[in-house]
Amino acid sequence: MLGLDSLAKKVFGTANDRKIRASMRTVEAVNALEPAMKALTDAQLRARTAEFRERLAQGATLDDILPEVFATVREAARRALGLRPFDVQIVGALVLHQGNIAEMKTGEGKTLVATLPVYLNALTGKGVHVVTVNDYLARRDTEWMGKVYHFLGMTTGVIVPGLDDNGRRAAYACDITYGTNNEFGFDYLRDNMKYRLEDMVQRGHHYGIVDEVDSILIDEARTPLIISGPIDDQSDLYVKIDEVIRELDDPAYYEIDEKQRTVTLSDEGNEVVEQKLIERGLLPEGGSLYDPTSITQVHHVNQALRAHRLFARDKDYIVKSDKVIIIDEFTGRMMEGRRYSEGLHQALEAKEGVTIQPENVTLASITFQNYFRLYRKLAGMTGTALTEADEFMSIYGLDVVEVPTNMPLIRVDDHDQVFRTVEEKLGAIVEAIQDGRARGQPILVGTTSIEKSEQLAARLKNLKVPHNVLNARYHEQEAQIIADAGVPGAVTIATNMAGRGTDIQLGGNVEMRVLDETKDIEDGERIAGIRARIEAELAEAKRQVIEAGGLWVIGTERHESRRVDNQLRGRSGRQGDPGRSTFYLSLQDDLMRIFGSDRLDSMLQRLGLEQGEAIIHPWVNKAIERAQGKVEARNFDIRKNLLKFDDVMNDQRKAIFEQRRDIMAAEDLFETVRDMRHAVIDELVARYIPKRAYADQWETGELEEAVQATLGLALPVRAWAEEEGVDDEQIRERLYEATDTAYAEKEAAIDAQNGAGTIRRIEKSLLLQILDQHWREHLVRLDHLRSVIGFRGYAQRDPLNEYKSEAFALFEGLLSQLRTDVTRQLGVLRPMTPEEIEERQRLIAEAQARMQARADAAMREKVEAEAVAQRPAPAVALGAGGGTATAELDAANPETWGKVGRNAPCPCGSGRKYKHCHGRLS
């Protein structure tokens, strides 16, 4: 019997059906144009690009010309690649153009689908980005689909690791740019560390299509991109705070929760610490740890407290050759080179009296969510998005549209087989593999980790069963192996990530072979000929495989998320092929142990489960799916929460980056600088001559000193105040006037000596430099704030709101500090000799080179980190109360640098060559 819901859907159709039906009208329009397109010569077809551009210039919209454009690209693809986009591919293309997610199963040809909206949107000339999950795919897709774009006279570029800034700029200048999410994201961060507009490589975020969108926007959403580097030496601070904590001898001063591994100051302890900090000059007289400005102190106090009360020498860490080395909690092994984050390691070093290594801090960071939200229009495609449709909608405003397959899906999905132990399960899997192989059926085995892949491989090796193992380390090699995974009797073991984006075709992958053999051929006819030959060769193999039942996908465990399981399944049954999928589970699997409900247990008892036997029952599938649903919801909550915190920083980052860009673009910052100076004067006057205060309450002496210190001018403020009838307003006016005049004189003198416009250049570089410096310090403070919020006893208060309001206060402080610093530095500026100017520019250039070197080192490390980690496991920052996840890129840790060229800049960011710095011999 049908439920009400499905009954209604039967009558009215689902929302999805209606969307698909609506787009069929466009498909019909495209189809109707096909004969006319076929009649055009290659040159005529290519000429259409200019025609379309012209019509857009005349005021036509993209939607107006869409059917003609799609018909043109379809014909171009047919001629350039020998592939004619199917009707369902046109539907997918429309979904992408509309800025939504097209869910299209594996093997439906999403790579080709993208060419239609990409070309259409690239006609505007504003650049279109196509985002792939790895560099191999970025290259492959540029090369492969480039044939269509080039055929139509468009330019393509690809950004890959190792490309220098000129190469990047050129790639972004193309009509279409392919690259990975990491490359795009890092380029954005690095661009915003540049000092001249012309050094930037990106030219805006107009339209982006993200391939395997679930992997990038969901799986990788928990690890932000981070550029980090060492900050100035703060050993003194750590030592002083360590002394303070050392003196906290009364247990009443703090509260320890052994289970949660937390320690907090009691109210009493708090007061004592405040007093001690004031004595040491770490807090201002009368200051409190509850002041928003004390975040950094609170943070370090917390870390020192943890170092002393929660971390035990020889249990959690050991001290060896002047170093604190972490001991792995589970294995008991020393983890040399690994460091606790957020100042905890430094606190331990201070506690043990060893050399305090510089702290590594975030110089720039962004989550993928926030990077991709920069795009004016964003679209995505993947085989598996529906289970996460809510998340795509609520976070990105992306609708998921399920596009029907070109051919009906006939894959058989078996019920799960549940065993008691892992051992029994593995035995059954090995048996299944041998059985399938004997029948000539290709088998793809999916595991959840590299270790598990290797365990299974070892078993197969013992039994002399030939097989391939993939683990997402070498994308290119893997693509080759995956391409052969459909050959009769092939056994391929892979983690979920492995070989993504490459299609498993029964009998063997036609496309990979065609691509391989037609690399340098542009001629469509010849390509078609070669394709025909390869197709014939592989047809026989394919026939055998079909007879054996197609590709058999074997899952060795359920993943936390149904989506990932579906990805694995989806490898089989492409384009109407036969296929089968089976998941083998055991009660000892992580998911079953942690999340399997009691109901599952009692259910299994009721069904009875014998040694070596499997339970196969639809109930079990339902129960497991429910467990997965729960985990998915929890993970979504974590991501949502993370994003809420990140949004606060994101708004500030956007504001700062915009300011930076404006400053770089500005011809003349005279007014900006003058306004800052006036604002500083306003602040000073308001502080020392409060509104409505009597004249005898005026602190004119202090004001005079402050004017001298901040504005660099000795002015008779006290004398002015003695004059009859002078009020704060007039003093302010006189200060404006005096400083404006002094500045004009200084400008004239400096320009006379060094040429016109000198002071304008100084203003600009100074402003950028000071802005960057404050922004970096601000980022550190935000990190601290985030962890402090977790520690503070915010009874009944919402941590997010606390974070928001304090972060805002800090940001206001940043702006005020920025104004003061710029004003002061320009105030003390005196006419300089050309040599001094040169020296100054050199220093600035050095600082800039240092930043750049850090950013570059970070890029390299990210790439290396990716090569080892098959999946970016969120590294929970150990020092934080809340779990911030970071992919730490460590310019401070030479052990993570790999091989560095002797003449390359040292990755530590010193600006010196490696051979003169960390790479010095002896």
**Nearer to ligand ADP among residue 107 and residue 488 (C-beta):** 107
User: In whole angstroms, how close is the CB of 655 to ligand ADP at the nearest point?
Assistant: 38
| x/- map, 106-145, Mg ion, by CB under 5 A | ----x-----------------------------------
CA distance 526 to 729: 84
User: In whole angstroms, how close is the CB of 515 to ligand ADP at the nearest point?
Assistant: 9
CA distance 315 to 393: 47
Q: Interface with Mg ion includes 92 (CB under 5 A)?
A: no
Question: Which 638-667 residues touch Mg ion, going by CB under 5 A?
Answer: none
Asked if 643 and 633 touch (Cβ cutoff 8 Å), the reply is no
Q: Give 3-state DSSP helix, strand, coil % of the chain, rounded to 5.
A: 55, 10, 30
**Nearer to ligand ADP among residue 106 and residue 870 (C-beta):** 106
Q: Which residue is nearest to ligand ADP (CB)?
A: 109
User: Of 104-112, 356-364, 684-692, 715-723, which segment contacts Mg ion by CB under 5 A?
Assistant: 104-112
**Nearer to Mg ion among residue 501 and residue 907 (C-beta):** 501
**Nearer to Mg ion among residue 92 and residue 501 (C-beta):** 501
Element (H, E) at 552: strand 551-555
Which residues, including other chains, have CB under 8 Å from residue 572's CB and lie 6 or more apart?
411, 444, 504, 550, 551, 552, 553, 579, 580, 581
User: In whole angstroms, how close is the CB of 73 to ligand ADP at the nearest point?
Assistant: 12
Residue of 118, 130, 100 lying closest to 22 (CA atoms): 100
Tokens encoding 241? 């705070």
Residue 104 site contact among Mg ion, ligand ADP, none (CB < 5 to 8 Å, cut-off depends on kind) = ligand ADP
Return the SS3 of 482: helix
Binding site for ligand ADP (CB under 6 A): 83-86, 89, 104, 106-112, 503, 511
- Residue at token pair 């083998």: 584
What pairs with residue 878 in β-bridges?
A: none
Residue 758 site contact among ligand ADP, Mg ion, none (CB < 5 to 8 Å, cut-off depends on kind) = none
User: In whole angstroms, how close is the CB of 341 to ligand ADP at the nearest point?
Assistant: 38
Residue 84 site contact among ligand ADP, Mg ion, none (CB < 5 to 8 Å, cut-off depends on kind) = ligand ADP
Indicate the pairing of strand 128-132 with strand 101-103: unpaired
**Nearer to ligand ADP among residue 110 and residue 784 (C-beta):** 110
Asked if 436 and 580 touch (Cβ cutoff 8 Å), the reply is no
**Nearer to ligand ADP among residue 84 and residue 261 (C-beta):** 84
Number of residues that bind Mg ion (CB under 5 A): 2
| x/- map, 447-486, Mg ion, by CB under 5 A | ----------------------------------------
**Nearer to ligand ADP among residue 185 and residue 383 (C-beta):** 383
DSSP code for 129: E
Residue 85 site contact among ligand ADP, Mg ion, none (CB < 5 to 8 Å, cut-off depends on kind) = ligand ADP
User: In whole angstroms, how close is the CB of 92 to ligand ADP at the nearest point?
Assistant: 9
Residue of 106, 89, 130 lying closest to 216 (CA atoms): 130
Residue 108 site contact among ligand ADP, Mg ion, none (CB < 5 to 8 Å, cut-off depends on kind) = ligand ADP
Return the SS3 of 587: coil
Which residues, including other chains, have CB under 8 Å from residue 768's CB and lie 6 or more apart?
195, 660, 663, 664
**Nearer to Mg ion among residue 224 and residue 501 (C-beta):** 501
Tokens encoding 432? 């299944």
**Nearer to Mg ion among residue 380 and residue 501 (C-beta):** 501
User: Of 105-113, 213-221, 762-770, 879-887, which segment contacts Mg ion by CB under 5 A?
Assistant: 105-113
User: In whole angstroms, how close is the CB of 595 to ligand ADP at the nearest point?
Assistant: 30
User: Of 102-110, 261-269, 659-667, 689-697, which segment contacts Mg ion by CB under 5 A?
Assistant: 102-110
Asked if 495 and 453 touch (Cβ cutoff 8 Å), the reply is yes
Residue 106 site contact among ligand ADP, Mg ion, none (CB < 5 to 8 Å, cut-off depends on kind) = ligand ADP
C-alpha count within 13 angstroms, C-beta hemisphere, residue 587: 18
CA distance 191 to 681: 34
User: In whole angstroms, how close is the CB of 481 to Mg ion at the nearest point?
Assistant: 17
DSSP E strands in 405-467: the ranges are 412-413, 417-419, 443-447
Give me the numbers of helices (H) and strands (E) for the chain, helices first please: 32, 23
**Nearer to ligand ADP among residue 209 and residue 227 (C-beta):** 209
User: In whole angstroms, how close is the CB of 501 to Mg ion at the nearest point?
Assistant: 4
**Nearer to ligand ADP among residue 187 and residue 503 (C-beta):** 503
**Nearer to Mg ion among residue 269 and residue 501 (C-beta):** 501
User: In whole angstroms, how close is the CB of 145 to ligand ADP at the nearest point?
Assistant: 9
Rg (CA), the chain: 32
CA distance 47 to 773: 51
Residue 439 site contact among ligand ADP, Mg ion, none (CB < 5 to 8 Å, cut-off depends on kind) = none
CA distance 910 to 908: 6
DSSP 65-120: HHHHHHHHHHHHHHHHHS----HHHHHHHHHHHTT-EEE--TTS-HHHHHHHHHHH
CA distance 606 to 754: 91
User: In whole angstroms, how close is the CB of 677 to Mg ion at the nearest point?
Assistant: 57
Alpha helices in 494-580 (DSSP H): 510-517, 524-547, 562-569
**Nearer to ligand ADP among residue 85 and residue 827 (C-beta):** 85
Q: Which residue is nearest to Mg ion (CB)?
A: 501
User: In whole angstroms, how close is the CB of 919 to Mg ion at the nearest point?
Assistant: 41
CA distance 287 to 276: 11
User: In whole angstroms, how close is the CB of 656 to ligand ADP at the nearest point?
Assistant: 38
| x/- map, 49-88, Mg ion, by CB under 5 A | ----------------------------------------
User: In whole angstroms, how close is the CB of 110 to Mg ion at the nearest point?
Assistant: 5
CA distance 496 to 494: 6
Asked if 334 and 317 touch (Cβ cutoff 8 Å), the reply is no
User: In whole angstroms, how close is the CB of 662 to Mg ion at the nearest point?
Assistant: 40
Asked if 822 and 669 touch (Cβ cutoff 8 Å), the reply is no
Question: Which 728-787 residues touch Mg ion, going by CB under 5 A?
Answer: none
User: In whole angstroms, how close is the CB of 185 to ligand ADP at the nearest point?
Assistant: 22
Residue 785 site contact among Mg ion, ligand ADP, none (CB < 5 to 8 Å, cut-off depends on kind) = none
Tokens encoding 216? 């990038």
C-alpha count within 13 angstroms, C-beta hemisphere, residue 294: 20
User: In whole angstroms, how close is the CB of 534 to ligand ADP at the nearest point?
Assistant: 11
CA distance 505 to 494: 16
**Nearer to Mg ion among residue 127 and residue 570 (C-beta):** 570
User: 3-state secondary structure string, 273-323?
Assistant: HHHHHHHCCCCCCCCCCCCHHHHHHHHHHHHHHHHHHCCCECCCEEEECCE
Question: Which 493-522 residues touch Mg ion, going by CB under 5 A?
Answer: 501
User: In whole angstroms, how close is the CB of 112 to Mg ion at the nearest point?
Assistant: 10
**Nearer to ligand ADP among residue 209 and residue 669 (C-beta):** 209
**Nearer to ligand ADP among residue 89 and residue 820 (C-beta):** 89
**Nearer to Mg ion among residue 501 and residue 712 (C-beta):** 501
Interacting residue ranges for Mg ion, rule: CB under 5 A = 110, 501
